[in-house]
Amino acid sequence: MSPQDSISQLVPADKITLDVASLHLEENGFSDAISSLDPERAVHDYADDIPIKVIDEHLIEFSEALRTIAKALRRVTEGKASAEAEAAFWKRKYEVEKAWNLCLKQKGKVTETLPCDSIDENLGNEGMESVVHDISPDKTERCCGKDDICSHEILRDGALDIDSTVARLKVARKASFKLAWGCNGDKSAQHKHEIVSFERGNITTAERSSKQILLKWESQPQTVLILTKPNSKSVRSLCVEMVRWLKEEKRIDIFVEPRVKIELLTESSNFSFVHSWENDDEIKLLHTKVDLVVTLGGDGTVLWAASMFKGPVPPFIPFSLGSLGFMTPFQSENYREYLDTILKGPISITLRHRLQCHVIRDSAKDDQDMEEPILVLNEVTIDRGISAYLTYLECYCDNSFVTCVQGDGLIISTTSGSTAYSLAAGGSMVHPQVPGILFTPICPHSLSFRPLILPEYVTLRVQVPFNSRGQAWASFDGKDRMQLAPGDALLCSMAPWPVPTACQVDSTNDFLRSIHEGLHWNLRKTQSFDGPRD
């Protein structure tokens, strides 16, 4: 049975007559007449040429349809209805496709991706039949090669059909294309299939399978690093309690800072099982030894803990023992229940992106060896420090000039840091899971310097020009102040190692709760009902 026969079992004959007729119009040069901008004449000429044998009861309906088409075409030639014509075309195409899909479903078969190179060979009915097969996993290869995204590629949920392929080829107006992502100047086939779909040349953002990232343990976590805010009695006593509970109840190995190990041993010699480290080289290997990092303190402790990991970071469980606690969603009183749940998993996590910063000294700009990057979880700030002069900074984004900052300075922030210093300087609050870079001036001496949010893939360069009156100072998450002399520059881009922080509920709930509870965001007395109304 031919595909057209299959359709006729499923859709009314008059509908097929219309659809086939409209394709027939195009086959017989009708579209040439259309393009000669005399559509009504073309319709009459065509009607005169219709062979007598095809005159049946459908002809009346058919001529009605032709009149409608002529009207529509007149409007097209007047340049008023191109959008409507386009919509009608796609609707007709969709209906034919739908009918054919229904037919295929009844046959219990689906179609496979049609390789672009073979489309021409599949124009005839024989060719068409040859692309209808039973489902087979090895027949789901990419269209047009392995890596690039191709506009011919068809979703594999049964959406492809032969008639639509024919229709597409006969009336094709859109050039095919591929999407490829360049990476740091690399023009190779870097791409992200998960971000866009590219069905039939229409670019749409793909549906995310899950909005919240979940971490599921594949084996039981065995080692926990506990990092604590110094000089706090409440933190110290909680730390003692937690270490004891984790060891005795959960059989967990514990790492702490050398300072904390001394504190624990002062408490009791029974804490000799606790591990620590002696030098920076051992700190560099911590991520290979610990399954989880528990922080006891405020946001500053989370920043401190993140700064210890210059590479990959294990999941953080931040307990709140500070005053604000934007990044510390877990209440310390309930630590047993939280840790119990987290050790079992799965855990909702927020992947907090970090920025990597390089200071390039003018004096050393020709050196090949770059120093290790400084990683920040909140932001890097370039300000005037103790200087009384305006800072004067030239800013570039991927070699494009952005602007000159003349004011107190500039904050380059992550989205996690958007609720910290950047917020105080007038920047937007951004959900921490958004992978952007905030560019927020500090007290700019200009009326029109609005903050920017840039995409995550850019590299920013902040240059202290030679004609700057003063020095500038860089600081990283509010620490490690570094002087920048005229000629020095700071390079800043997204680091490949985010900080995965466990959520109490989920990323969005935790974020909204912290801006409500921490900042009293948009708190206002509700207007009373008692008053004038529309």
Residues identified as active-site: 299
- Closest CB to ligand NAD belongs to which residue? 300
Q: Which does 297 bind (CB under 5 to 8 A by kind): ligand NAD, ligand ATP, none?
A: ligand ATP
Task: Choose the one of ligand ATP, ligand NAD, none that binds residue 112, judging by a C-beta under 5 to 8 angstroms depending on kind.
Answer: none
Of 426, 478, 486, 487, the one binding ligand NAD (CB under 6 A) is: 478
Do the beta carbons of residue 417 and residue 378 sit within 8 Å?
Answer: yes
Q: Long-range contacts made by residues 186-190, C-beta under 8 angstroms, separation at least 24?
A: 189/147, 189/148
| Pairing mode, strands 223-228 and 253-256 | parallel
**Pairwise CA distance, residues 302 & 295, whole Å:** 6
Torsion on CA atoms 12, 16, 17, 19, rounded to nearest 10: 140
Measured CA to CA, the distance from residue 19 to residue 3 in angstroms comes to 14
Alpha carbons 217 and 445: distance in angstroms, whole number: 52
* Shortest Å, Cβ 232 to ligand ATP: 7
SS3 per-residue string spanning 32-79: HHHHCCCHHHHHHHHHHCCCHHHCCCHHHHHHHHHHHHHHHHHHHHCC
229 binds, among ligand NAD, ligand ATP, none (CB under 5 to 8 A by kind): ligand ATP
Q: Minimum distance from CB of 377 to ligand ATP (Å)?
A: 11
Stretch binding ligand NAD (CB under 6 A), from 174-182, 241-249, 298-306, 501-509: 298-306
How far is the C-alpha of 89 from the C-alpha of 83, rounded, in Å? 10
**Shortest Å distance, C-beta 337 to ligand ATP:** 22
**Three-class secondary structure of residue 316 per DSSP:** strand
Q: Are 297 and 229 in contact (CB under 8 A)?
A: yes
**Least Å from the CB of residue 228 to ligand ATP:** 6
When asked if residue 112 is in the footprint of ligand NAD (CB under 6 A), the reply is no
The residue among 115 and 300 lying less far from ligand ATP, judged by its C-beta, is 300
CB of 284 to ligand NAD, least distance (A): 22
Closest approach of Cβ 506 to ligand NAD, in Å? 18
Q: Is 416 in the site for ligand NAD (CB under 6 A)?
A: yes
Q: Does residue 257 belong to the site contacting ligand NAD (CB under 6 A)?
A: no
Matching residue, tokens 């409507």: 84
Site pattern 327..346 for ligand NAD (x: CB under 6 A): x-------------------
Q: What values do phi and psi take at 145, rounded to 5?
A: 100, -175
Task: State yes or no: residue 295 binds ligand NAD (CB under 6 A).
Answer: no
Under the binding rule (CB under 6 A), the answer on residue 383 touching ligand NAD is: no
> For the chain, first and last CA: distance in Å?
66
CB 156 to ligand NAD: min, Å: 43
The one of ligand NAD, ligand ATP, none whose footprint includes residue 97, by CB under 5 to 8 A per kind, is none
- Contact region with ligand NAD (CB under 6 A), list: 169-177, 187-195, 306-314, 413-421: 413-421
Pairwise CA distance, residues 283 & 302, whole Å:
16
Which position has the token pair 């958004």? 434
Q: Output 3 or 300, the one with its CB closest to ligand NAD.
A: 300
Give the span between the Cα atoms of 278 and 258, in whole angstroms. 7
Contact of 510 with 501, CB cutoff 8 Å: no
DSSP lists the bridge partners of residue 205 as 196
- Judged by CB under 6 A, which of 419, 463, 504, 507 binds ligand NAD? 419
In the complex, the residues that contact ligand ATP under the rule CB under 6 A are: 227-230, 257, 297-301, 303-304, 322-325
Rounded least distance, CB 212 to ligand NAD, Å: 20
CB-based burial label for 237 (10 Å; 0-12, 13-18, 19+): exposed
Asked if residues 316 and 287 have their Cβ atoms less than 8 Å apart, the reply is no
Q: Are 480 and 333 in contact (CB under 8 A)?
A: no
Asked whether 417 and 503 are in contact (CB, 8 A), the reply is no
The answer to whether residues 142 and 150 touch, using CB atoms and an 8 Å cutoff, is yes
Tokens of 366: 């020709």
Torsion of CA 255, 261, 267, 271, to 10 degrees: 50
User: What own/partner pairs with CB < 8 Å and gap ≥ 24 does 185-189 have?
Assistant: 189/147, 189/148
Does 299 bind ligand NAD (CB under 6 A)? Our answer is: yes
Shortest approach of ligand ATP to residue 259 CB, angstroms? Answer: 7
Q: How far is the CB of 175 from ligand ATP (least distance, A)?
A: 56
Give residue 308's identity as a one-letter amino acid code.
M
Tokens of 411: 């904050």
**Contact with ligand NAD (CB under 6 A) among 420, 462, 464, 494:** 420
If the CB atoms of residues 39 and 441 are measured against ligand NAD, the closer one turns out to be 441
Q: Which amino acid is at 363?
A: S
Q: CB under 5 to 8 A by kind: which of ligand NAD, ligand ATP, none does 463 bind?
A: none
Which of 487, 518 has the CB closer to ligand ATP?
A: 518
The reply to whether 59 sits near ligand NAD by the rule CB under 6 A is no
Nearer to ligand ATP, 149 or 294 (CB): 294
374 binds ligand NAD (CB under 6 A): no
CB under 5 to 8 A by kind: which of ligand NAD, ligand ATP, none does 424 bind? ligand NAD
d(CA 257, CA 220): 24
How many residues belong to the site for ligand NAD (CB under 6 A)?
18
Our CB check for ligand NAD shows the closer of 39 and 427 to be 427
CB closer to ligand ATP, 395 vs 420: 420
For ligand ATP, the closer CB: 445 or 479? 479
Which residue in 300, 314, 409, 441 binds ligand NAD (CB under 6 A)? 300
Summarize as ranges the residues that interact with ligand NAD (CB under 6 A): 298-300, 303, 322, 324, 326-327, 378-379, 416-417, 419-421, 424, 477-478
